Structure 1
Amino acid sequence: MNFTGCIIAKNEEKNIAKAISSLQHVCSQIVVVDTGSIDNTAKIAANSNCEIYFKRWNNDFSEMRNFALRFARLDWIIFLDADEVLLPLSMEKYGKIFQDDRVGGVSCIIKNYLTDDKSSFIEHRYTRIFRNHPKIRYRGAIHEQISESIIELGLDIYESDITIEHFGYIDNSTEKKQRNLELIKKELSRQPSDYLLFHLANTEFSMNNLINAKEIFLKILSSRELSTENLELAQLRLFQIATSLNDWKYILEHQNYIFTNRNYEGLKQFILSACFMHRKQWEKSYHCLLAAKECNSSLVEQELLRKSIEAVEKYIDFY
């Protein structure tokens, strides 16, 4: 096993044991950087045979991550957040990739759970596995990126289906959201980018600041800087915001937008069905519900979908 696992953590005693355990299957070295815990985070890590280092938190995620990289001794790095778990079985078929000198990083699927029962989640990609190289380092105070430094070395980033489960969105405190909001705004004032605006809008959305979020999402919809994945999530958020604000006009005007992500498309169809229900257009609502069912979206509660279909069928029969 030629991997060093790295984690930065602060007051993560509820989560860190699972994160460490998931790395132990594939990593011969695990580095944990504690950034000021007052709970048992460091003790749990030490009892798990990890190397523990301490650095005071300074509102710069990249600096914290790069500090951890200084202690990595093996050829490849796997970086997790303390509230994440690597699914080890998903790595088994990629042995040849880690032996390919042209590959500098591996893009993983990050599965962000939104509910305790794992029934609702959003997926995105992130380069979490990369070569241990002195010029491969994180950049950006928040929503830090490693990919740019890999590409600058002329190395490839391989797109894999290696999966990391993230549980941080289930219990995301107001204090944490406010901290992130302030960090993003500070970084934007220093280095404006659509990527940071995207994360600012998502943070505003998570804090239910819907008008602010809507304004920013609309601003970045035509961005060439953002990935298709980011742009689709921005459009999905606008559908969700329109639903919360009863802005049925926006939903109807954009009903022909097709998401490549089936989870997003399923939620859009469900939202569109609600719009047609509001307009008492039962046949159209019914077809949207069937389309949502076909997508089997992780973002749509299936029992609610079933009941909605039954209710609309009754309206159709009645009218």
Structure 2
Amino acid sequence: MVTVSVCMIVKNEEECLGRCLKSLQGIVDEMIVVDTGSTDKTKEIAKECGAKVYDFKWTGDFSEARNYSFSLATCDYIYAADADEELDEENRQRFLKLKEDIEELDIDIVQMYYCNQLSFRTVYNYDRELRPKLFKRVRHFVWEDPIHEQVSLEPVVCNSDIEIIHRPRENHAGRDLASFRKAVDDGRYLSKRLHNMYARELFMGGTDDDFIKAKEFFEKSACDTNRGVDEIKEASCVLAHVAVLEDDAPALLKYSLKDATTEMSSEMCYELGEYYYGKKDYDEAIIWFFNGAYECESILDIKKSKELPRLALAKCYRALGNEEQAADYEREAAECEKGE
């Protein structure tokens, strides 16, 4: 049977760390907890659960801390866990079976289902989706092809049926958005993936102030010729929201037209609806909220094509004195929310 090291980075997780580590006892062969500056009993709890505890001076870069935790592992595979995760008994047994089965296979990465993601409006749009969680510690490269041979570089990835229960205690948007701003201030170039995550984080958990602070970055992004269409549309949605906040009609027109160069997004329709609702032009607002709900698709926040525009339609019809139509849209919104 293969051996597994669990590697974690933590800070002030006394409320949930013990539950996480106890759910892994008897499954993993080594527990490594890297603490980035806890002031509570996190380190004591980790040691009580049998973990090896190391200190790491926080740099603002999660990858640096995660790489350090991985460097300390000694087992065949590394399981990357967060303190607010846990496995129930059914999935503990699935994990043990996986350890038996994987020994005969040359698997580099195992994906597991991450569940309960929609609690506290996390940056993810779906409640259950696969994530890479188990990694082979030492990868052996092999040559392939009978002629013009080359080293196989693509990792071998398999999907498991293991479900990890995510129990967040709070929304981490404020922390994550601060990390995005620091990366930008440090001159780091945000990849396409991080560009998308920054925009999504803003829409799902950002405050008005967070949007205003992100304005300069996304203005540069919207006119960056190295950015693709998807990134320009994401930047345009963020900047349209800022334009609504600042009551800047020319900017709203500019960025809505950028989004409209391809099929308009639900997010942009929603921002246009909000602008006209703020002007008490309810008939025009209804057109855009309707388009967001029924004619377009979301690119960042799925709720902008589901319950949110329907609730917005309800408030428009209520403002027009049409209580019956408002109630119908509120019922639809409730159905959308249940469907997610």
TM-score calculated relative to the size of structure 1:
0.62
Does 2:79 correspond to 1:74? no
Q: Whole-Å Cα distance in 1 between the matches of residues 123 and 233 of structure 2?
A: 12
193-202 vs 269-278, greater mean Cα deviation: 193-202
- Counterparts in 2 of 1:286 and 1:305: CA distance versus 1, 3 Å: closer
Does 2:90 correspond to 1:85? no
Could you list the runs of 5+ residues in structure 2 that have no partner in the other structure? Answer: 142-150, 324-340
Could you list the runs of 5+ residues in structure 1 that have no partner in the other structure? Answer: 137-150, 260-264
- Counterparts in 2 of 1:152 and 1:5: CA distance versus 1, 3 Å: farther
SS at match of 2:108: strand
- Matched residue, 2:55: 55
- Matched residue, 1:104: 108
Q: Whole-Å Cα distance in 1 between the matches of residues 20 and 263 of structure 2?
A: 36
- Counterparts in 2 of 1:236 and 1:52: CA distance versus 1, 3 Å: farther
- Matched residue, 2:138: 133
Q: Does the 8 A contact of 2:273 with 2:286 survive in 1? A: no
SS at match of 1:123: coil
Does 2:26 correspond to 1:29? no
Instruction: Measure how far apart 1:303 and its partner are.
Output: 7.7
Does 2:259 correspond to 1:291? no
- Matched residue, 2:7: 6
Q: Does the 8 A contact of 1:86 with 1:165 survive in 2? A: yes
- Matched residue, 1:217: 221
- Counterparts in 2 of 1:183 and 1:194: CA distance versus 1, 3 Å: closer
Query: Any residues of structure 2 matched to 1:1-319 within 5 Å, and which?
Result: 2-21=3-22, 23-24=24-25, 27-47=28-48, 49-57=49-57, 59=59, 61-82=62-83, 84-85=84-85, 92=94, 95=98, 98=102, 101=105, 103-106=107-110, 118=119, 120-123=121-124, 127-133=132-138, 153-158=153-158, 165=166, 167=168, 170-171=171-172, 178=178, 181-183=181-183, 185-186=185-186, 188=188, 192=189, 194=191, 198=195, 206=206, 207-208=210-211, 209-219=213-223, 223=227, 234=235, 236-246=237-247, 247=249, 248-250=252-254, 252-253=256-257, 254-255=259-260, 257-258=262-263, 267-275=267-275, 277=277, 278=279, 280-281=283-284, 284-285=287-288, 287-288=290-291, 290-291=293-294, 297-298=302-303, 302=307, 305-306=310-311, 308-309=313-314, 311-312=316-317, 315=320
TM-score calculated relative to the size of structure 2:
0.59
SS at match of 1:81: coil
Q: Whole-Å Cα distance in 2 between the matches of residues 216 and 168 of structure 1?
A: 35
- Matched residue, 2:147: none
SS at match of 1:43: helix
Give the letter for the 1:72 counterpart.
Answer: A
Q: Does the 8 A contact of 1:104 with 1:131 survive in 2? A: yes
Q: Whole-Å Cα distance in 1 between the matches of residues 234 and 107 of structure 2?
A: 28
Q: Whole-Å Cα distance in 1 between the matches of residues 236 and 194 of structure 2?
A: 14
SS at match of 2:78: strand
Query: Alignment length, in residue pairs?
Result: 287
Q: Does the 8 A contact of 1:273 with 1:286 survive in 2? A: yes
Q: Does the 8 A contact of 2:173 with 2:201 survive in 1? A: no
Give the letter for the 1:211 counterpart.
Answer: K
Q: Does the 8 A contact of 1:75 with 1:132 survive in 2? A: yes
Give the letter for the 1:182 counterpart.
Answer: K
Q: Deviations over 1:167-187 (max 9, x none)?
A: 48715557x755664355436
Q: Whole-Å Cα distance in 2 between the matches of residues 267 and 307 of structure 1?
A: 13
Q: Whole-Å Cα distance in 1 between the matches of residues 308 and 12 of structure 2?
A: 36
Instruction: Measure how far apart 1:40 and its partner are.
Output: 0.5
SS at match of 1:271: helix
RMSD over aligned Cα atoms: 5.1
Q: Whole-Å Cα distance in 1 between the matches of residues 286 and 196 of structure 2?
A: 38
Instruction: Measure how far apart 1:233 and its partner are.
Output: 5.2
Q: Whole-Å Cα distance in 1 between the matches of residues 181 and 137 of structure 2?
A: 31
- Matched residue, 1:140: none
Q: Whole-Å Cα distance in 2 between the matches of residues 39 and 289 of structure 1?
A: 45
Instruction: Measure how far apart 1:130 and its partner are.
Output: 1.4
SS at match of 2:12: coil
Instruction: Measure how far apart 1:245 and its partner are.
Output: 3.4
Q: Does the 8 A contact of 2:108 with 2:136 survive in 1? A: yes
SS at match of 1:122: coil
Instruction: Measure how far apart 1:41 and its partner are.
Output: 0.6
